[in-house]
Chain A
Amino acid sequence: MLPLVKREIIDKKHWMENGDFLDNLALAQSLPGPVIINMSLLTGYRLRGIKGSISSVLGTAMPSFVIILTIALFFWQYRDYYLIQAAFMGIRPAVTALIIYTIFQLGKRVFEDYRSLLLFMLFLSGLIFVNLHPITIIVVSAIVGILWPLNNNSKKEQTP
């Protein structure tokens, strides 16, 4: 979705320079919440203040809201149909593969610091075997990061 955002904001509407866009993106990725929502808020705020940010967040959220609601209202009932069932039997492993692939991609960058890999394995074991809540893991990792800073070569360090 991000290439689409970049094309619209920079190339078509000329609302922002590339550098400002990257600064906003770094900030949007650092904050919690859907990145695309954070990006909309930042872009809208930069152009027209609070009103701008509310308009752009509504603009981003509305299409998916309507599309998903349409699917929920009209198509979900056909989920038990045997053709759909068979298709989903193949779609589910494909979705699993997509998620595992994301781990490889993120890991390549983050695991350059061996401590990150160690923490990752510790956290994942805690989540799977001890059934720790994801929020606990997030809070613990933030505290560990303050006490024992990691050297992740993140995008953030390139921005002022």
Chain B
Amino acid sequence: MNNLNIYTELFISFFKIGFFGFGGGYSMLALLEREIVQMHGWLSVTEFVDIIAIAEMTPGAVAINSATFVGYQIAGVAGAAISTFGVIFPSLLLVIPAAKLVTLFYQNKNLQNALNGIHPAVIALIGLAAYVIGVNSIIDIKSALIGVGALLLLTFTKIHPLLLIAAGAVAGLIFYL
């Protein structure tokens, strides 16, 4: 594989993910899945899910963690650096001008309506991430039970996500060994 090409492709993919990544980490997962798994086949779905789990367990934004990880898997340390830069670059371009034009930003009714209109789409993207990840994670009765149990814990106990993942790991060891 041509190295220069792969670096360019990584940069473009992660630039797209950063540029259209409205609504925070989980909605960016849908973009990641489409670009990384479906379009380029850089990762399998299970690898993708496991990287998200690791990103969830480690500090820092999920989008950045996934960029670093995927970049490294595809093209080593340079790939990791280029992918991470790619996902941050749109913010570098957009945030400072937006801060300077902040009054204009809030007074522009069309812009505000567009940003409001994105909300249902953001939730739909999170829905897609849940669907893709769910279909590949919940594969039998045992994993379904773990999933339902986790959802009940989240709803009724406000358990910390890190603790929930640890509990999932313990449940996995109990059920699957």
Contacts and interface: CB of A to CB of B under 8 A. Distances in A.
Interface of A: 1, 23, 27-38, 41-42, 45-46, 50, 53, 57, 60-61, 63-65, 67-69, 71-73, 76, 79, 82-83, 85-104, 106-107, 110, 116-117, 119-120, 123-124, 126-128, 133-135, 137-138, 140-146, 148-152, 154, 156, 159-160
A146 B73 CA distance: 40
A123 B56 contact: no
Given A92-B46, A106-B122, A154-B116, 5 more contacts: A41-B91, A91-B169, A92-B50, A95-B53, A134-B30
B90 A32 contact: yes
A102 B142 CA distance: 23
A86 B176 contact: yes
28 contacts: A33-B21, A33-B63, A33-B87, A35-B25, A64-B61, A65-B84, A67-B58, A72-B72, A86-B172, A89-B143, A95-B165, A97-B153, A98-B154, A100-B151, A106-B122, A120-B123, A123-B120, A123-B124, A141-B121, A142-B114, A142-B117, A142-B118, A142-B121, A145-B113, A145-B114, A146-B110, A150-B116, A156-B115
Please name the 9 residue pairs, one residue from A and one from B, whose CB atoms are nearest each other, closest first: A145-B117, A90-B172, A64-B60, A94-B168, A92-B137, A141-B121, A97-B150, A123-B124, A93-B147
B1 interface: no
